[in-house]
Amino acid sequence: MVPKESPLAKEIIEDQGFSSDGQIIIAMFPIHRENEAKEKGMGQIAPFSCRNYYKETINRMKLIVKQVAPQLTKKQYRLFSNSRLPEKSLALEAGLGFRGKNSLLINRSIGSRGVLAGMILPGEIKVLEYSPEENDEALSNCGNCRLCEKACPGGAISDEGFCKEKCLQFWTTESGIVPDDIKRNWGSILYGCTICQDICPWNRKIPESRAIDLGALPQGIPLTFLLTAAQEEIKSYFRNSNMGMSWITPRMLQRNAVLCAANEGLSELIPLIEKRLSEAKDPSLEDACRWALKVLKRDQD
């Protein structure tokens, strides 16, 4: 539970139309670690998007509300996950963990491999406050560890802080033209980057979580499909999954697929990229196609 005296909580409660005695509860749900082997010619989806965890957490929150406060109508409470609310800041204030060098919330039990979800309830519902363990210096920061800083391909992590403009995860859903230094370090990423999480000591000994079926996707998506499919076909494929969110457009995924092809040296996909370039109606996709063709044709020489 976020402390009631929190200025942030008070502001959100008021903005959401609740009375001043409202309360915010936030939780972190573990993510299942996908173990599919990487194959050439496949764009990789980060584990947190291989299942629709956001919808799953909302469904679980609904069940909790029905159990503890069955008298409440839908208008009397609000559930949120992957919302516009500052969920990470709320989780920090609630004592769920600390902010790592990679800007992610790190929890003692599940590391950073989790999804946040919360609820806003009226004040008359009694909630037990969560008391995080005190005097645990190991939970206050990352100490002298620099593993994620050294592993980040874009150089987004440093002593000065986290720079999202250098983060591959940021660019997988950014509509602008991808900088060349990011393109060169793209690898086989289609959506989401977890390199900093994979190397993090806090994620080494976390318990295995149960996989959910909701919105299940394979971790690898054929690049040929993304380079040849129509916009509506791509939308249909990812519908009801985490990849079906409005901010992840088919053109973004096609651009990302083009960058994957170039970084994997898939010269056999040059004809598909040339066709995609001839039909491109998006500056970012057009730029990615031109860059990829330059790289792939240079490698052929």
**Residue 44 placed within a domain:** no
Domain co-membership, 156 together with 295 = yes
For the chain, 301 residues long, the average pLDDT of each consecutive 10-residue run is: 90 92 93 78 92 93 92 93 94 93 92 94 76 50 91 93 94 94 95 94 84 86 96 94 86 96 96 94 95 90 61
Same domain, 153 and 295: yes
Cβ atoms 219, 190 nearer than 8 A? no
Q: In this structure, are 176 and 112 located in the same domain? A: no
Considering the domain architecture, whether residues 115 and 198 belong to the same structural domain is answered as no
Predicted local distance difference test score (pLDDT) of residue 136: 47
181 and 81 assigned to the same domain = no
Question: 29, 32, 30, 38: which is closest to 219 by C-alpha?
Answer: 38
Among 97, 132, 167, where does a domain finish?
132
In a domain, 177, yes or no: yes
Domain that holds residue 25: 7-34+50-132
The per-residue pLDDT for 301 is 61
Domain for residue 141, yes or no? no
Do 168 and 72 lie in a common domain? no
Asked whether residue 84 is domain-assigned, the answer is yes
Regarding whether 194 and 111 lie in a shared domain, the answer is no
Same domain as 156, residue 284: yes
Of 105, 132, 159, the domain-final residue: 132
Using CA atoms, how far residue 279 sits from 23, 120, 181, 289, 292, in Å, is 51, 46, 25, 11, 16
Residues 161 and 285 in one domain: yes
Residues 212 and 263 in one domain: yes
Tally of domains in the chain: 2
Is the CB of residue 228 less than 8 Å from the CB of residue 261?
no
pLDDT at 223: 97
Residue 2 lies in a domain: no
CA dist., res. 171 & res. 109, Å (int): 29
Same domain, residue pair 257 and 217 = yes
On whether residue 39 sits in a domain, the answer given is no
For residues 195 and 294, state if they share a domain: yes
The three state secondary structure string of 28-45 is EEECCCCCCCCCCCEEEE
